[in-house]
Amino acid sequence: MNAQLTLYYDHACAICRKEMDRLARWDREGRLAFIDSSAPDFDAHKHGFTAAALDRELHGVCADGNVLRGLACIRRAYALTRFGWLWRVTALPGLKSGFDAFYLWFARHRYAISRYAFFARQRQEDCTSACAAKLNGTRS
C-alpha cells in the first residue's frame, strides 16, 4: 500500500524519534511513511525542501502532493491512525493558534527539552532505593 502521508522528521531529536516510533506502531494500515531528514546522506533539495525548513518544523507530504507543516502535519498523521481524536482539540477555534504557536516554540527548543526530559528520566532510573523513596514522598 502506498503511504497517504510521508513524514520528514528529525531522528536526531529524541522526542521526535519517540513520537515517530509511536506513530509507526499505531499505523496498522501502513498509511504513514517516515524519512529521517537528519540522516547524513539526506538531501532536502531532492525532496523539494530546504534543510532549514525541515529543521524548523515537521513536514509531511500527502499522497496528492499537498505539503503539511508543523502541528497540521501531526494532526493529519494521527488522524490516519485510530488515535486522531487525541489531537482534535488542537484544531478547535480559539485554541488552534495557541497550540500552533506552542508547537513552533517546542520545535525550536526540542533538543534542550529532549536533553532535560531524558536526563530526568535517566536520573530517576539510576536512583538508589532511598533516592526513589524521597522522589515518591516516602521514607525508606
pLDDT tens readout for residues 22-51: 999 999 999 999 999 999 999 999 999 999
3-state secondary structure 65-124: CCEEEHHHHHHHHHHCCCCHHHHHHHHCCCCHHHHHHHHHHHHHCHHHHHHHHHHHHHHH
- Is residue 135 assigned to a domain? no
Tally of domains in the chain: 1
pLDDT at 115: 81
- Is residue 131 assigned to a domain? no
45-97 pLDDT tens trace: 999 999 999 999 999 999 999 999 999 999 999 999 988 888 888 898 999 99
Q: Which domain holds residue 79?
A: 5-108
- Is residue 132 assigned to a domain? no
- Is residue 137 assigned to a domain? no
Q: Is the pLDDT of residue 137 over 90?
A: no
Rounded Cα distance between 23 and 18, Å, is: 9
- Is residue 82 assigned to a domain? yes
CATH number at residue 59: 3.40.30
- Is residue 117 assigned to a domain? no
pLDDT at 123: 46
pLDDT at 2: 81
- Among candidate residues 3, 75, 68, the one with its CA nearest the CA of residue 32: 3
Model confidence, pTM = 0.78
Name the band, by pLDDT with cuts 50, 70 and 90, for residue 14.
Answer: confident
